[in-house]
Each structure stands twice: as C-alpha cells, then as structure tokens.
Chain A
C-alpha cells in the first residue's frame, strides 16, 4: 500500500454540484493532515488543515477517519473557480519535530457550466 493515495480523477461536475474526494494513508501514527489546491502551472496552496473533529470553511468541509485511515474533502455548491487539482498531505515519521509531509498525487476537479 502506498503511503498516501488519491483517486486521480478527473472529476467532471456541473456548477452547483457537491463533490467529495477521499485520500487514504498508510501510517497509522500520522497526526497532521492537510488539503492543498494546485492550479495549472502554479504552486500548491494550503486549502485547509484537517482536524480530528472535522472542520468547515465556507463551502469546504474536511473530515478525518482514523479507524479507516482516510481524510475527505467535501465541496458544496461547486463554482467554476473550484476547478483545480486537490492534493492531500499527511505527516510522516521522519524529518523535523513533527515529521515531513507526504503528498498524494492529487485529484483533478473540473467544474463545468
């Protein structure tokens, strides 16, 4: 099992749809989880951290399921501007005081009019 896995997509959805992405991780000791957004030919940008209790930021909701070792990102009322690649990141056991991040390969989302 790879350390961090994501469905590569693409997810093609109409405007206004709700879409969900999952990301599975193999290290049961991981403590930090993040979602990043990457636009074409741009750098990844931190979208949101994922807290144990789940967290919401506007139309975006992130959840953590430790038992099944996955995190999820739910986007409600999709906008054309949500079209991007979404990367998940999970901390590893090595590097620094809290471990380096391992990134998934990303899930591509395309929102159509």
Chain B
C-alpha cells in the first residue's frame, strides 16, 4: 500500500498562473482533506470531502477549488495563484476507527508563488 500520494512534490508558479495538485489514496477511505501549513500557523483545513461526491469548505477556502474525482482521488486547484498561497500543502484521508477520525497524510507539495 502506498497510502496517500501527492504530486508534484515541488512547484514554483508566477502570480496569476494556475495549477492542480493531485492526491490519491489506496486505503479505501471515505473522507479526504486538503490542508495548508505555514510557519506559526499550523495546519489549516482548506477543503474536505466527507464522502465520494461531496465537497465542503474548510477554514481557508478562498482562492481554491477542489474535485473529488472518485473515491481514491481528490484534487486541489489554484485558479490564479497569489504569493499568499506560498505554502506546504498536505492531502489526508481518514477512516473511522474505534478512536475516531484517524487521518493519514501524504508527503506534501511545497508551492512557491513569485
């Protein structure tokens, strides 16, 4: 099992460019998430998909769109990148266990917008 995979690992964009971050999981999890992590800010939820066919906004959705393509894949799109979107982006998926909503993270995408 690869777990949660993300592509690309690194990306540099110019202001105004667009791109899509890809995420896939092979753990048959229903829920998937996109976070951004900035120094001093911790992990902040951008969007989530509780199940295939649904997506919802998280804490910081402005400037982003998502698509839950199927149960395995959840992509994050930046339509017009801004320097404020320079960050590390993590995708996660979760299953409901005895302890609750355990989340497992992908390796991240480091995005720089110049």
Q: Which candidate, B62-70, B71-79, B92-100, is the interface stretch facing chain A?
A: B92-100
B101 contacts which chain A residues (CB < 8 A)? 32, 91, 96, 98-101
0/1 interface trace, chain A 11-50, chain B, CB 8 Å (1 if under): 0000000000000000000011110000000111110011
A43 touches B58 (CB 8 A): no
Q: How far is the CA of A103 from the CA of B105 in the complex (A)?
A: 13
A51: Cβ under 8 A from any B Cβ: yes
B33 contacts which chain A residues (CB < 8 A)? 100
Supposing A95-B50, A96-B48 touch, asked if A51 and B99 sit within 8 A by C-beta, the answer is yes
A89 contacts which chain B residues (CB < 8 A)? 103
A interface residues (Cβ-Cβ under 8 A, vs B): 31-34, 42-46, 49-51, 87, 89, 91, 95-101, 103-106
28 contacts between A and B (CB under 8 A): A31-B100, A33-B99, A34-B102, A42-B107, A42-B108, A43-B90, A43-B107, A44-B43, A45-B105, A46-B102, A46-B104, A49-B98, A49-B100, A49-B102, A50-B99, A51-B99, A89-B103, A91-B101, A95-B50, A95-B56, A95-B58, A96-B31, A96-B48, A97-B96, A100-B45, A100-B48, A100-B58, A104-B42
Q: Please give me the 10 A-B residue pairs with the lowest Cβ-Cβ distance, nearest first.
A: A32-B100, A49-B99, A105-B42, A43-B105, A96-B50, A103-B43, A98-B101, A44-B105, A96-B31, A98-B100
